Amino acid sequence: MVKLDKLKDQSTKIKEGRTIGIRNLRYLFMSNIKQYTMLMALILIVIVFQYTTNGVLLRPINVSNLIQQNSYILIMAIGMLLVILTGNIDLSVGSVAGFVGAVSAVMIVQWKWGTVETIVISLVIGALIGAWQGFWIAYVRIPAFIVTLAGQLIFRGLTMVILKGMTLAPFTPGYTMMAAGFLPDFFGNDGLHLTTMVFGVITVLLMVVSDLNKRRQLRKHNFEMISMPLFIIKEVAIGVSIIWISYILAQYKGLPIVLILLGFLVVLFTFITQKTTIGRHIYAFGGNEKAAKLSGIKTSRVFFWVYVNMSVLAALAGIVFAGRLNAATPKAGGNFELDAIAACYIGGASASGGIGTVVGAIIGGLIMGILNNGMSIMSVSIDWQQAIKGFVLLAAVAFDVYSKRKTA
């Protein structure tokens, strides 16, 4: 009888272990269903284009160009996410980026100012634009759609006035370095860029330490978390991906400086949205503004600073875009706002506000960028590229609506 009871206990424990494992796996997927779905879609898109382009997509030079070509959209997508979390959008960011690029060109090309003061003043101009728009939106309570649509027209017109319909070029090497430069190899190796590999390893180590710390905090407060085997699988998969991308970049010129900037912004805004009071206030605002206000949150202030932040990042994107082109053009910034908004929605942000992550916005931006790049390699016309991106956006939003109805 004793042996029989032991066998029953062991059988029960095995069943409970399997149940917990399945529950953890379900918890991991369902808690981030759209983000994981889009991540799988990104991987599938990469595989498809790698095959259809005969391996061109993941060649070192193309991966490097892909990062630099889409960096300004990813920068704006980070800012746009915070705006979308409040349940709104910003239609002016493309025009602000073009306007700031034009102002920068005047300061450097015509006035012969230095790189540092030009970039600092350009970012200050972006902040002032955001404060101006944020005032009308947050305190006068004019709908954000109207204010930013007006801003789109205003700053597009001012860009034409400043440039007088002409292109200003070239910028100084220091100005273009941030957008088109690469981190030097401090090891002086002529072959593989060892500094890039070191950065990749350090990034993986920091990620593992951070995730272990998060896991420790979850266990401390008795929160539900994924099992250790699933945790290890996830860490290994992400770590191998980072090292693999580092190896691809190391075969060309190494780590693009703009990728370091982008990585810093992702870490910074992930921390802000997930670990700070202002981040919780933004999510609360998007979830229910009236309830947030009744709970003591100064919603107008939150609304105001979200738009200031958006315009600063739009200004930074304008600097990066002008630096990559090495010129300021009257048409710069066209449709940037649409790409940034699409990146957020595709990456898991909800159109009704209160839902979305920085990492998800980056995933959405990469999907759009790889679609553009892959279709260009395959010589797909611009018209068809726009149509296909439109279908992808519609499918992403439809999936969001379907998921909400299913869980309601």
Q: Which two tokens stand for residue 195?
A: 């500094």
Q: What are phi and psi of 168, to 5 degrees?
A: -105, 130
Chain position carrying tokens 């379907």 = 402
User: CB pairs under 8 A, 24+ apart, for 383-389?
Assistant: 389/342
Task: Return the closest-CA partner of residue 248 out of 63, 68, 101, 394.
Answer: 63
Q: Considering the chain, what percentage of its residues have pLDDT values greater than 70?
A: 89
The CATH number given to whatever domain includes residue 114 is: 1.10.3470
pTM of the model: 0.88
Q: What is the pLDDT of residue 282?
A: 94
CA angle 210, 215, 221 (to 5 degrees): 130
CB of 347 closer than 8 Å to CB of 38: yes
Q: What's at 33, amino acid-wise?
A: I
In a domain, 100, yes or no: yes
Task: Return the closest-CA partner of residue 143 out of 374, 303, 337.
Answer: 303
Task: Return the closest-CA partner of residue 137 out of 127, 147, 150, 125.
Answer: 147
Q: What's at 152, amino acid-wise?
A: Q
How many Å apart are CA 236 and CA 48, to the nearest integer? Answer: 24
Task: Return the closest-CA partner of residue 330 out of 154, 165, 106.
Answer: 165
How many Å apart are CA 64 and CA 68, to the nearest integer? Answer: 6
Number of domains composing the chain: 1
Q: Considering the chain, what percentage of its residues have pLDDT values greater than 90?
A: 60
Chain position carrying tokens 């003591």 = 296
Q: Which two tokens stand for residue 256?
A: 């693009």
Chain position carrying tokens 């202030």 = 301
How many Å apart are CA 339 and CA 347, to the nearest integer? Answer: 12
Q: What's at 142, amino acid-wise?
A: I
How many Å apart are CA 328 and CA 72, to the nearest integer? Answer: 15
In a domain, 286, yes or no: yes
Q: What are phi and psi of 91, to 5 degrees?
A: -85, -5
- pLDDT tens digits for range 8-28: 454 444 444 444 445 555 555
Per-position b or e across 356-370, b if 16+ CB within 10 A of its CB: bbbbbbbbbbbbbbb
Q: What is the pLDDT of residue 12?
A: 47
Secondary structure letter of residue 172 according to DSSP:
P
- pLDDT tens digits for range 183-240: 999 887 778 999 999 999 999 999 999 989 988 988 888 877 777 888 888 899 889 9
CB of 258 closer than 8 Å to CB of 178: yes
In a domain, 111, yes or no: yes
Q: Give 284's contacts (C-beta < 8 A, 6+ positions apart).
A: 291, 292, 295, 297, 354
Q: Which of 143-152, 283-292, 317-326 has the lowest mean pLDDT?
A: 283-292
CA angle 337, 132, 273 (to 5 degrees): 60
Task: Return the closest-CA partner of residue 390 out of 371, 366, 363.
Answer: 371
> Is the predicted pLDDT of residue 4 greater than 70, yes or no?
no
In a domain, 193, yes or no: no
In a domain, 189, yes or no: no
> Is the predicted pLDDT of residue 30 greater than 70, yes or no?
no
How many Å apart are CA 396 and CA 394, to the nearest integer? Answer: 5
In a domain, 225, yes or no: no
Confidence band for 34, pLDDT divided at 50, 70 and 90: low
**What domain range is 260 assigned to?**
34-181+256-407
How many Å apart are CA 101 and CA 40, to the nearest integer? Answer: 36
In a domain, 301, yes or no: yes
Task: Return the closest-CA partner of residue 83 out of 280, 369, 267, 305.
Answer: 305
In a domain, 235, yes or no: no
Helix (H) / strand (E) element for 298: namely: none
